[in-house]
Structure 1
Amino acid sequence: MIKAKRINDQYGHNVGDIILSTVAGKLQNAIRRTDSLARWGGEEFVILAVDSDIHQALLLAEKIRETVREIPFENKITLTVSIGVAEYQPDETFDHFCCRADAALYRAKDEGRNRIVIDTQAASIENALNPCGE
């Protein structure tokens, strides 16, 4: 989500921790009570938006992108967020679903950051058994 190493190197780990904590709080306030938020790795978060289709998930992603961009931090630190969005498919494994969302996230980062990329790959039973071609 954020370039934590750059922030930690420039401002120290305490500032990096404050930023992650602040972002987590803002994200929690931006989602519905029925959604789930979790930190996923060092600087990434995952949100499971239950009972949402891809269009609703896209609206939520845009809300999150704007929310993070507008967080006021000291030292003129500004954050942007790259988001990968995927819709769970029937008969798909959780690993495959996460793999598709992760691939969309990396496409967003590769395409210049501060953007949302939607995974459009249709899951099938065959590729659900073999997450991301592994």
Structure 2
Amino acid sequence: MTRVRTLQQTRAPDPDYSHEGERAELAARLLDTVPELIAMDATDGVVEACYRVGFNAFDCETLRLLARRTGEFPLSVERLAATATTRPTYTVRLGPASDALRSSRAENPDFWEDEALVEEAKRRAPGEWSRVEARLERERRRVERALSR
């Protein structure tokens, strides 16, 4: 099932990226210990936990935690226009690992450029990953043949 979330960026556009790993671990621990986060919808809980430790709604660490905790992966991330008085707003389509693996690099760079997300998707959808590998291999051979002519 594909879900669409639209959220406003809640942190400075140029945030401090220090201690990301520690903050990501803290967000995961919050999901297991804070009753109000436990009671929330799983996706909302992850976004809120990440916000509490200083991540924007769909920073890389938030997307990784969503994948690990809910099995939802980014299918597309669209930045909507911000004005001088409003913060940037993002619309994110989330879906299962198989859908993310079927997406193209051009339409879904937020997924394909994040090795941790790709590895988690491979783990969750090994059958789909096998088909992706076969498609990539066919494409590689096609390019090699074209270049050798």
Q: TM-score per shorter chain, which class?
A: under 0.3
More helix per residue:
2
Q: TM-score, normalised by structure 2?
A: 0.26
Which of the two has higher C-alpha Rg? 2
Structure number with the bigger relative contact order (C-alpha 8 A, sep ≥ 6) is 2
